Structure 1
Amino acid sequence: MPSMTVGERIVLHLSQYTRHRESFQCPEEVTQKGISERLDISRAHAAIELKRLKEIGEVEERVAHVTRAKTRRKVYFLNLRGENRAREMRDYAKEKKVRIIDPGGEFEVVEGQMALNVLKTDINLGEARAYEIILTNSEIDLADFKREEKLQAPEEKEPEDFFGRREELDYFQRLFEKENPRIVIVLGLPGVGKTALAKRIPSLFDVPCFYHPVKEWDTPELILGSLAAFLEGQGKKKLRSKMDSILDWNEVSRILQRDLKGCLLVFDDCHKSKKMETFLSIFKDMDEFKGKIVATTRVRPFFYDSSDTLLKGRIEELQLTGLDSQGTQELIQHIGKKLDQSKSEHLHEITNGHPLFLEFVLARGEDRARTDFESYLHDQILSELSVTDESTLRKLCVHRYPVTSDAVQGTSSLVLRNLSRMLLITEEEGSYSVNPSIKSVIYSRSDPRQRKEAHSLAADYYLKSEDDFERLHHLIEAGRFPEAARLCLKKGEELAEKGKAKEILEFIEILQPKVKYTERLSQLEDIMRKIVATQ
Structure 2
Amino acid sequence: MGERALTVGDRIIVHLFGFGRFAEEFECPEDMCQSGISTATGKSRAHITLELNRMKEAGLVMERNAHVKGAKSRRKTYLLTPTGLAKFSEINNYLESLNIEIVENEISRFVTGNGAAEYLRAIFNLSKIMAVDRVLASGGILVVSQQEGAEQPEPRMKYLPPKPDDFQPRREMKTLISMLADDKTNTVILLGIPGMGKTTMLAQLAGSLEPGSAVMYRKLYSYDSAVSILTDMGDFLDDNGYPHLRRFMANPILFDLSEAGYMAKCAFSGKKLVVIIDDYEQAPCTLMPLLSMLTEMVNGSGSGLIIASSKRGDFYSLKNLALDRTVREVSLGPMEPEAAGKLLGSDNGNNKEYLKMAGGHPLTLKLLASGVGATTLAGYVEDEVLGKDTELSKMCRFVSVIRKPFLPDDLELGGFKAADQIRHNLVFEPQPGGGYLLHSAISSIMLAATGKRMLKELHLMAAEFYEKTETGTHEILHHLIHGDSMDKARNLMLEKGEELLSTGNPEELADAMELVLWEKEEKPQVKLLATRIFDHAGKWDRAEKVAREILKESPETQEAIMAGIIHANILSKTGDPKAALKVLDSIPKNRMKQEVRARVYYARASTLRRLGQNREALEACEKAIATAEKTGNGVMRGQCLMENAMIMSASGKHREALDNLKSAMALFSEKDSLPDLIRCRINMGMVMRSLEMYDEAAETLEMAVKMAEEAGLNRFRAHGLVNLTDLLNRKKEFKRSVKLSHLAIDIFSGLGDPLMQAAAMFNLCTASAGNGRKKEAIATMEKALSILEKKGLVKSKGSWISECADILRGMGEDELAKKIIKKYGG
TM interval, shorter chain, is: 0.5 to 0.7
TM-score (norm 2): 0.44
Q: CA 1:356 to 1:521, structure 2 compared with 1: closer, same or farther past 3 Å?
A: farther
CA distance in 2, matches of 1:307, 1:287: 20
Q: Indicate whether 1:438 and 2:442 are aligned.
A: yes
Cα-to-partner distance string for 1:466-486 (whole Å, 9 max, x where unaligned): x44333213323555344224
CA distance in 2, matches of 1:440, 1:213: 29
2:186 alignment partner in structure 1: 182
- C-alpha displacement of 1:196: 0.8
- C-alpha displacement of 1:352: 0.2
Instruction: Find 1:506's aligned residue among 490, 511, 514.
Output: 511
Equivalent positions of 1:82-481 (< 5 A) are 125=56, 131-133=62-64, 152-153=76-77, 159-161=163-165, 163-206=167-210, 207-243=213-249, 245=251, 246-249=253-256, 250-261=258-269, 262-274=272-284, 275-284=286-295, 291-333=303-345, 337-338=346-347, 344-364=351-371, 368-382=372-386, 384-385=388-389, 387=391, 389-390=392-393, 392-405=395-408, 407-410=410-413, 415-428=418-431, 430-441=434-445, 447=454, 450-460=457-467, 464-465=470-471, 467-481=472-486
Q: Which secondary structure does the structure 1 equivalent of 2:76 belong to?
A: coil
Cα-to-partner distance string for 1:474-531 (whole Å, 9 max, x where unaligned): 3323555344224434666886688944322321233247998598766655665564
Q: CA 1:309 to 1:494, structure 2 compared with 1: closer, same or farther past 3 Å?
A: closer
CA distance in 1, matches of 2:317, 2:415: 20
- C-alpha displacement of 1:301: 2.0
CA distance in 2, matches of 1:513, 1:360: 46
| Paired residue type of 2:410 | A
Contact 2:378 / 2:445 at 8 angstroms: preserved in 1?
yes
Q: CA 1:120 to 1:422, structure 2 compared with 1: closer, same or farther past 3 Å?
A: farther
Larger % of helix: which?
Answer: 2
- C-alpha displacement of 1:406: 5.7
Contact 1:120 / 1:126 at 8 angstroms: preserved in 2?
yes
Cα-to-partner distance string for 1:301-357 (whole Å, 9 max, x where unaligned): 222221222223222222223212122022123xxx2357xx544422221011121
Identity of aligned residues (%): 19
Q: Which secondary structure does the structure 1 equivalent of 2:35 belong to?
A: coil
Instruction: Find 1:41's aligned residue among 35, 38, 42.
Output: 35
| Paired residue type of 2:282 | K
- C-alpha displacement of 1:232: 2.7
Q: CA 1:426 to 1:518, structure 2 compared with 1: closer, same or farther past 3 Å?
A: farther
Decide which structure has the larger Cα Rg and report it.
Answer: 2
Report the more deviating stretch, 278-287 or 313-322: 278-287
CA distance in 1, matches of 2:520, 2:361: 41
Q: Which secondary structure does the structure 2 equivalent of 1:308 belong to?
A: helix
Contact 1:329 / 1:344 at 8 angstroms: preserved in 2?
yes
Q: CA 1:201 to 1:22, structure 2 compared with 1: closer, same or farther past 3 Å?
A: same
Query: 5+ unaligned residues in a row in structure 2: which ranges?
Result: 17-29, 68-73, 79-158, 541-573, 575-752, 754-826
Q: Which secondary structure does the structure 2 equivalent of 1:321 belong to?
A: coil
Report the more deviating stretch, 300-309 or 162-171: 162-171
CA distance in 1, matches of 2:235, 2:313: 27
- C-alpha displacement of 1:417: 2.5
CA distance in 2, matches of 1:331, 1:423: 23
Larger relative contact order (Cα-Cα within 8 Å, sequence gap ≥ 6): 1
Q: Which secondary structure does the structure 1 equivalent of 2:330 belong to?
A: strand
Q: CA 1:493 to 1:449, structure 2 compared with 1: closer, same or farther past 3 Å?
A: closer
Report the more deviating stretch, 312-321 or 391-400: 391-400
CA distance in 2, matches of 1:380, 1:295: 20
CA distance in 2, matches of 1:458, 1:474: 10
Cα-to-partner distance string for 1:390-447 (whole Å, 9 max, x where unaligned): 5544553332121334632547998323233121212346412222222245555693
Query: 5+ unaligned residues in a row in structure 1: which ranges?
Result: 1-18, 51-62, 68-75, 77-118, 138-149
Q: CA 1:322 to 1:516, structure 2 compared with 1: closer, same or farther past 3 Å?
A: farther
| Paired residue type of 1:469 | H
Contact 2:185 / 2:327 at 8 angstroms: preserved in 1?
yes
Q: Which secondary structure does the structure 2 equivalent of 1:152 belong to?
A: strand
CA distance in 2, matches of 1:476, 1:179: 55
CA distance in 1, matches of 2:369, 2:12: 47
CA distance in 1, matches of 2:8, 2:521: 89
1:7 alignment partner in structure 2: none
CA distance in 2, matches of 1:449, 1:351: 23
CA distance in 2, matches of 1:527, 1:284: 62
Q: Between Structure 1 and Structure 2, how many residues are aligned? A: 424
- C-alpha displacement of 1:235: 2.5
Equivalent positions of 1:4-83 (< 5 A) are 19=1, 22-23=4-5, 26-27=7-8, 30=11, 39-42=33-36, 46-47=39-40
Contact 2:33 / 2:77 at 8 angstroms: preserved in 1?
yes
TM-score (norm 1): 0.65
CA distance in 2, matches of 1:370, 1:235: 51
CA distance in 2, matches of 1:372, 1:227: 39
